[in-house]
Structure 1
């Protein structure tokens, strides 16, 4: 850190970043909860819904890529607030496209804004979370990511309430967007100005390096082997997490001939296990280090998947789902934490590493669906076992950098 902060400032900063993670999850679940209404309002088929989802994913990847540029131009506070406003406007635009214009094109524009803003803020909030880890000496990114999950639960719940109250998509979107912007304004106001975050008004900032020089430095991460090692960690775990979100319930129903209720229960167990590990994961990492925790959890993921696929009874299927959820819980947040070890290049490295994870989220589920047509859903899930093992083998890339002051830079963490 380049600025000495009081304890109350650190607490406000931490709370602010918790709020940004929550808002991101809230926005995702808000529009996702109204997909059926969007489909009816636009009179489109499932393939066209798939194009909408793909468009949002591509825009998210673009947002990840431009985040370091936005940080270099605007600094952390203004860049983060700008991104929040962009994805809030995107949510409202989706509502306008659905209920006012009944236009597929306008909804695509809304989703592009939504994905662009959310992708950008994803990098920024992870960079800020990693900086708070350095300031406090504690591993907190798993807990920050748990707040994202809480936001998605809240968004889904509010979506169900909006449907019960017979609110159309636009009214629902406007209310949530207003909340997002208002909370975002108050939250980002409590993010301290820091030279490391390239804030122009940060104490001690001298003459800025030329923008082209900062741009060149932001692209340096793609030339570092460690980026690809961290990318493998996140790739394997993101693939396994995305595969569960889209195919676990169907695996119970079609693969194990269970009911739809059992399928939903299996997904709920997976999600609960993942959230609990994210809440409790920080102290484990501080005690045993990133590398060991990631290796153990990759074993949990691989073992859970094998048990899920081959379990002869439903209780064992649920045990497999729980191990699967626990195993994938910390891959993404610890990968982000490791990418941000050096605060000077945190934004560029987080952007590059997160891009690999987002590609897995975007391409993984459709690819699994294509493969499952030939070999069946349970056999397809076995591919995730190999990816989990690869993630574990690559976990050494998460070892803290020699000069890092990250909270995991302990003897246990550097094994």
Structure 2
């Protein structure tokens, strides 16, 4: 299938600034989440919750509920206000949540205030997660290279920065409220500056674009209509398996190593570190790999590696074998989510609505996966519960053809000239 790309009058410098601005938004999202996670012990102590994990668990549940609500609200907010106002507003909500968290912990010592802060943190981050992916796919299409894996690696970088600042703040006995308030101000200030380098596009619903955006009602109907596209649903299956595998790993790998494989707590933490490192490396290296072999082959290879790694992890054996399984698991789930985003936006009308739809599927799986594994683990044992992820990875492998690129021209690496990429004709995808 051949398809001619659209011309663009944006210079290489403008495209680079746009790309870097989206990188920054991804970093800010990761930074916000890690800032809370890094200070959980301080929040627990400030609220006088003792050593009972159930109270913190309820607070985390509130954040998850807020995140799901944010995912649901993202589409109408994006359609109504566009990604510029949407991303800044979402990060303002995130920052208000961080402020309430800090003040509720160290000043008011109020559980309801902390709970409200976590709900807002989850809500704002749920919305910005969808919007930054919509914007990421837009700049990826313009530049013509696979960038989404690297963007998600930027989110991971943000979590590393947030964890480091949190650890340093705790070590220096910096009050939780001051830590979170300062980070909240930084997040809003950086977001306001970053979006200035993101061009406004009527196709994404931005006001002030060169051509007027369609009326809100029409855009909302078009946004809902994409759910009838079976190819989009199959892309969602790919993202479902990968997101379920990633989210469950984040919450359960350490405990599975300790309870399932008889290791101590520190070893469980180290093994989890191998998983996170493998995911990050996979996302940093994933873009050039995808540009060389295509999305379908990349999904099949990574899903296969993930399934093999997960099986090794479940069956166990010597610790080195468990670590190998963990690394393969991490590589296996590293590309499914970002490549699903790219596939949803590629070669079809209304890319913003399509990306928003699959993002909701992916993030919902990310949030729902851990408690489902916990429930199954209680009934059948934690390691046995992980077989559900294996089934979903196989489903992602089978659904891989849905992510096939409909426009190879944007993946051909055609450099942007002084006035942007020239018109080229796409070639057949290698699957």
Cα distance change on mapping 1:405 and 1:210 into 2, 3 Å: farther
**Residues 1:272 and 2:277 are matched in the alignment:** yes
User: Given that residues 25 and 191 in structure 2 are in contact (C-alpha distance below 8 angstroms), is that contact kept between their aligned partners in structure 1?
Assistant: yes
The correspondence for 2:355, drawn from 350, 358, 370, is 350
Alignment TM-score, normalising by the size of structure 2? 0.91
Gaps of 5+ in 2: 1-5, 413-424
Q: 1-side partners of 2:429 and 2:28: how far apart? A: 31
The correspondence for 1:100, drawn from 79, 102, 107, is 107
1:209-234 CA-to-partner distances (Å, cap 9, x unmatched) read: 32111111111122222232112111
**Residues 1:399 and 2:404 are matched in the alignment:** yes
Query: Which residue pairs with 2:135 in the alignment?
Result: 128
The correspondence for 1:42, drawn from 33, 41, 47, is 47
Question: What SS class does the counterpart of residue 199 from structure 2 fall into?
Answer: coil
User: Given that residues 221 and 348 in structure 1 are in contact (C-alpha distance below 8 angstroms), is that contact kept between their aligned partners in structure 2?
Assistant: yes
1:180-208 CA-to-partner distances (Å, cap 9, x unmatched) read: 111111111110112222222112x14x4
Question: What SS class does the counterpart of residue 203 from structure 2 fall into?
Answer: coil
**Residues 1:258 and 2:263 are matched in the alignment:** yes
Alignment TM-score, normalising by the size of structure 1? 0.94
1:287-319 CA-to-partner distances (Å, cap 9, x unmatched) read: 111111101111100000111122321111111
User: Given that residues 133 and 407 in structure 1 are in contact (C-alpha distance below 8 angstroms), is that contact kept between their aligned partners in structure 2?
Assistant: no
Q: 1-side partners of 2:63 and 2:13: how far apart? A: 38
Query: Which residue pairs with 2:60 in the alignment?
Result: 53
Query: Which residue pairs with 2:195 in the alignment?
Result: 188
User: Given that residues 196 and 343 in structure 1 are in contact (C-alpha distance below 8 angstroms), is that contact kept between their aligned partners in structure 2?
Assistant: no
Q: 2-side partners of 1:231 and 1:12: how far apart? A: 30
Q: How does 1:361-372 map to 2 (within 5 A)?
A: 361-372=366-377
1:13-58 CA-to-partner distances (Å, cap 9, x unmatched) read: 1111110000000000001111222222223442232222222222
Q: 2-side partners of 1:363 and 1:72: how far apart? A: 26
Moved more, 387-396 or 147-156: 387-396
CA RMSD, aligned part only?
Answer: 2.0
1:224-254 CA-to-partner distances (Å, cap 9, x unmatched) read: 2223211211111111111211111122212
Q: 2-side partners of 1:344 and 1:98: how far apart? A: 47
Q: How many residues align?
A: 412
Cα distance change on mapping 1:80 and 1:74 into 2, 3 Å: same
Question: What SS class does the counterpart of residue 189 from structure 1 fall into?
Answer: helix
User: Given that residues 65 and 352 in structure 1 are in contact (C-alpha distance below 8 angstroms), is that contact kept between their aligned partners in structure 2?
Assistant: no
User: Given that residues 408 and 428 in structure 2 are in contact (C-alpha distance below 8 angstroms), is that contact kept between their aligned partners in structure 1?
Assistant: no
Q: 2-side partners of 1:414 and 1:71: how far apart? A: 34
Query: Which residue pairs with 1:74 in the alignment?
Result: 81
Question: What SS class does the counterpart of residue 16 from structure 1 fall into?
Answer: helix
Q: Which has the higher contact order (CA 8 A, sep 6+)?
A: 2
Cα distance change on mapping 1:380 and 1:211 into 2, 3 Å: same
Question: What SS class does the counterpart of residue 9 from structure 2 fall into?
Answer: coil
